[in-house]
Amino acid sequence: MRCSPSSPPFPLAAVSLALALLLPPVQRPADGAFDVVAADVGQGTAVLVRTRTHALLFDSGPVYSRESDAGQRVLAPLLRGRGDRRLDLLVLSHRDSDHTGGARSLFAALDVGGDAL
């Protein structure tokens, strides 16, 4: 099969379409607005607040077992699914494990700016 000089070759078009599916556009709040997502992590809390340019996560949910926690099972997939690969700030309200249990997994899975507060 030959392509005309004016059209891109099929593999290039296929790669472009595949990238669009793998990297969908990220929906961000408008300037001056924010959105809030309260994630169901079981016992404990996890609230994501996003502006057009920043993402803050308040608490990281509980540890479910030695092999599993809310950061790994709920929050990292939620953030990636929404197009977030970075948290600007992770706030841990207090040291109880139902609020801090997923923090280690979040640090491993995402780029977290600064330290946890």
- Residues 116 and 57: their CA atoms lie apart, in Å, by 10
**Which residues, including other chains, have CB under 8 Å from residue 26's CB and lie 6 or more apart?**
82, 83, 84
Q: Look at residue 38 in the predicted model and tell me its pLDDT.
A: 94
**How many residues are given for the chain?**
117
Q: Which whole-number Å values give the CA distances from 23 to 62, 82, 85, 86, in the listed order?
A: 29, 11, 11, 15
* pLDDT higher than 70, residue 18: no
Predicted model pTM: 0.74
- How is residue 84 written in tokens? 């977030």
The pLDDT-based confidence of 45 (bands split at 50, 70, 90) is confident
